[in-house]
Every structure is written in structure tokens, then in C-alpha cells.
């Protein structure tokens, strides 16, 4: 079978975790020849060792540090759009999306964080692929706050809300039902996580933890049936354990964080999930949530470091979803919806919010993202060292 799956892994030190994912695939009979792994790293990291790891495992892939990414931009004639992928940021996963777009053999993408491990009893890759092909009846969740807590199933016991869930949407009344999914409607599969929950720094502090993790941990018993969020309802989308169809890439840009004058960070996958959910609602698509679970082994670090990264964007996070909630209605493509949302942010006056100009910055980058994808679709002719 051809390589139709691109696995994107942002990493600076724990790349060896991928051996566990490859072993999981072998144990469950998943065809590793379908995978092409893109390790997104930095110049100071062990790129040679990463390449050896892929070779030893017999898995196709490439390693892209900062220098190699710059070379790739030049090779594909998009040097002017290199800024859409921020330096030294988790949002470098966007490079993997550019890479996928330039290689149209990839029909599916995976995001895997390097501080995770698969549960041995679950077919990690196979389950995600089954989710993307799902058809039939599934649980559908909504709330009176238009937000779904992806940890809702045992929230009465643990009281957790995930990173990015708006504070103003807490205390919601949850409504459950069922809905029918047609084959092809599921465009993203979000696997959830045991051990260290994905919380923001304020919630970690409230949980009594100063090392960036959480005193409250999640286990398999905290999760029930898989589910989707109802139309008109948003949810947090964490990129640590995620599969998606190629078609969503125009509306799935991982937002530019960390490397900006406002020091806003930690909302790259959260805001991209808000935009993707809006696009899905307009186009009649779905985001599947639940299995396969992964084990999240977040390394200890100062909770206050995360807090410093999150505070500049906390107020903006409360308002972003409301700003785009009615944008793009009637559009018939991911790109068209994403452009409408990008223009809304780029051209708006957000001076009433702390760091409101960051919304303009994000909107401008969203529009540049679409231009970068368009540029990748154009052929690049090269004569000697000069691009024509």
C-alpha cells in the first residue's frame, strides 16, 4: 500500500516515544508502510539520532530542523510565507500541514505529541482510521453555553475542564442525545488522554500543582462512549492525539503563538479547533472524540511558566468563538470559510480587549496561510540555483 498517512510529531527531546507507536502498529497488524513520519524539531536537537530511529524502525520519514525547514521553503518557492510557522513553538505542527499539502499522496494526517504513549491494548492508528471512516449512530453532546467539555463524562467526580475551555462557559447544563453520521462526514478524530489531563495553568494551580501537571489524574474509567459535539457547539481540540483528513488543512492552520510581540502562547491548537468546528458546522462535517486514548506523561515544569504564556491570551480566548460564530455562513469550502474568519479578525477593531491587536495579527496570518497553500499548488521551475 502507498504512503497515504503523514504523521507529524513536534519534538525536541522525547522522539523515542515513536518506537512505542510503531510497536503498537505491529502488535495490532496495522500496515506501517502507509506511514510517512515528519519530525519537526530545532537546529540544536539530535537530528541524526532521529533519522537513525526512523531507519532502525523501518518507517519512512524526514526530520526538519529550522535550517531544513528554510531549505524546504526555498525548494517549494514559498520563502515569503515562512513566517506563518512560528519559531520554537508547538505551532510548528503547521509545517507538517504545509508538507502534506505539497505532497498530495497524503490523504490523512496525524498529530502526535512526544510526551504521549499509546495504550498497548488499543490499536492506535487503526482506531483513528476507523473513526474517520465512521458511519452510524453516535452520542451527540451539547450545552446551554454552546461549549462541550470533552471531559464531561466524569466531570461530576473530577471537576476538570480542559485547556482552552472558556471560563465564562463553565457550569454548563449538558444535554445528551444521538445523531446519525454518514460515511465521509467525520473529518477529524480526537483521541483523549489518561494520566496528566490537558489543563491550562490557572486550573493546574487551582488543582494544587506547581509543576505544570495536575494533582487530579484521568484514567480509562473517566471515559465512556465516543461522541460528537452538536452543531453550534464548540469544543477544545488538542493536537497531542489527533487524526484528520487532508481536506481540512485550509481551515486547520495551527495559529502563530509564542513568537509574537504580545507573548501570546498555548492557544495554537485550541483556536485552530474553534475555526475547524465552525467550518465543520457550515459544511455538515463532524469531529469525532474519544478513542483511542493515549497516556499523557507531561514532564514537570513550572506552572507559572505556562501561566506567563497563557495570560496574554486568556481574555481573547473568551471572545474568539463569539466573533466567528456567525462568520462564513453559506460558504462551500474550507478555504472560503477560513478566509471569511481571517478577514473578520484582520479587519476588526479589537481595542476593547487586552492585547486585542493580536486578533488582527492572527487574522493576517490566516490569510497568509491560504496564500501559502495556493503557492504550493503552483509548479516551481529551478534553473541552477535560481528559482524561475
In this prediction, residues 212-236 reach a mean pLDDT of 97
In this prediction, residues 112-120 reach a mean pLDDT of 97
CB neighbours (10 Å) of residue 22?
Answer: 22
pLDDT at 379: 73
**Confidence band for 316, pLDDT divided at 50, 70 and 90:** very high
In this prediction, residues 288-316 reach a mean pLDDT of 96
How far apart (Å, rounded) are the C-alpha atoms in residues 306 and 311? 9
pLDDT at 386 over 70: no
pTM: predicted TM-score of the whole model, two decimal places: 0.95
In this prediction, residues 63-79 reach a mean pLDDT of 97
pLDDT at 388: 33
How far apart (Å, rounded) are the C-alpha atoms in residues 96 and 198? 22
In this prediction, residues 98-119 reach a mean pLDDT of 97
Report the DSSP beta bridge partners of residue 8. Answer: 38, 111
**Confidence band for 378, pLDDT divided at 50, 70 and 90:** confident
pLDDT at 6 over 90: yes
Q: Grid coordinates standing for 27? A: 502488535
Task: Give the chain's end-to-end CA distance (angstroms, integer).
Answer: 35
**Confidence band for 382, pLDDT divided at 50, 70 and 90:** very low
pLDDT at 354 over 70: yes
**Confidence band for 87, pLDDT divided at 50, 70 and 90:** confident
In this prediction, residues 307-336 reach a mean pLDDT of 97
Integer CA distances (angstroms), 138 to 99, 209, 230, in order = 33, 36, 11
In this prediction, residues 334-362 reach a mean pLDDT of 98
pLDDT at 380: 63
Cβ distance 219 to 304 under 8 Å? no
How far apart (Å, rounded) are the C-alpha atoms in residues 268 and 259? 12
pLDDT at 53: 97
pLDDT at 1 over 90: no
Digit-coded pLDDT (tens) for 136-193: 999 999 999 999 999 999 999 999 999 999 999 999 999 999 999 999 999 999 999 9
Q: 330 in the Ramachandran plot: left (φ > 0), alpha (ψ -120 to 50) or beta?
A: left
How far apart (Å, rounded) are the C-alpha atoms in residues 118 and 19? 10
pLDDT at 18: 98
Amino acid at each position: 500500500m502507498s504512503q497515504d498517512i503523514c504523521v507529524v510529531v513536534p519534538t525536541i527531546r522525547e522522539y523515542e516515544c515513536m518506537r512505542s507507536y510503531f510497536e503498537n502498529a505491529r502488535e495490532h497488524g496495522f500496515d506501517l508502510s502507509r506511514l510517512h513520519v515528519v519530525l519537526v524539531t530545532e537546529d540544536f536537537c539530535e537530528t541524526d539520532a532521529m533519522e537513525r530511529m526512523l531507519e532502525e524502525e523501518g518507517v519512512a520519514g524526514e526530520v526538519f530542523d529550522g535550517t531544513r525547514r528554510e531549505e524546504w521553503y526555498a525548494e517549494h518557492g514559498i520563502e515569503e510565507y515562512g513566517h506563518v510557522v512560528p519559531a520554537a513553538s508547538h505551532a510548528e505542527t503547521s509545517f507538517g500541514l504545509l508538507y502534506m499539502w505539497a505532497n498530495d499522496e497524503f490523504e490523512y494526517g496525524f498529530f502526535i505529541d512526544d510526551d504521549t504513549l499509546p495504550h498497548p491494548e488499543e490499536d492506535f492508528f487503526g482506531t483513528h482510521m476507523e473513526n474517520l471512516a465512521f458511519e452510524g449512530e453516535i452520542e451527540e453532546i451539547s450545552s446551554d453555553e454552546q461549549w462541550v467539555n470533552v471531559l464531561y463524562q466524569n466531570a461530576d467526580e473530577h471537576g476538570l475542564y480542559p485547556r482552552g475551555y472558556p471560563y465564562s462557559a463553565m457550569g454548563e447544563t449538558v444535554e445528551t442525545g444521538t445523531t446519525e453520521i454518514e460515511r465521509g462526514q467525520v473529518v477529524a478524530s480526537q483521541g483523549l488522554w489518561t494520566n496528566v489531563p490537558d489543563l491550562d495553568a490557572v486550573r493546574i494551580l487551582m488543582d494544587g500543582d506547581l509543576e505544570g501537571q495536575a494533582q487530579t489524574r484521568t484514567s480509562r474509567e473517566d471515559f465512556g462512549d465516543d461522541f460528537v459535539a452538536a452543531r453550534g457547539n464548540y469544543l477544545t481540540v488538542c493536537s497531542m492525539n489527533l487524526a484528520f483528513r487532508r481536506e481540512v488543512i485550509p481551515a486547520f492552520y495551527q495559529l502563530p503563538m509564542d513568537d509574537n510581540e504580545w507573548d501570546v502562547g498555548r492557544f495554537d491548537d485550541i483556536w485552530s479547533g474553534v475555526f475547524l468546528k465552525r467550518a465543520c458546522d457550515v459544511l455538515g462535517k463532524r469531529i469525532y472524540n474519544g478513542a483511542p486514548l493515549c497516556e499523557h506523561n507531561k514532564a514537570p515544569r513550572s506552572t507559572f511558566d505556562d501561566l506567563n504564556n497563557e495570560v496574554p491570551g486568556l481574555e481573547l480566548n473568551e471572545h474568539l468563538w463569539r466573533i466567528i460564530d456567525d462568520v462564513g455562513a453559506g460558504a462551500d469550502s474550507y478555504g472560503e470559510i477560513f478566509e471569511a474568519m481571517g478577514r473578520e479578525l484582520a479587519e476588526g477593531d479589537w481595542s476593547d480587549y487586552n492585547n486585542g491587536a493580536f486578533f488582527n495579527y492572527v487574522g493576517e496570518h490566516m490569510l497568509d496561510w491560504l496564500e501559502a497553500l495556493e503557492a504550493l499548488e503552483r509548479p516551481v521551475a529551478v534553473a541552477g540555483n535560481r528559482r524561475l
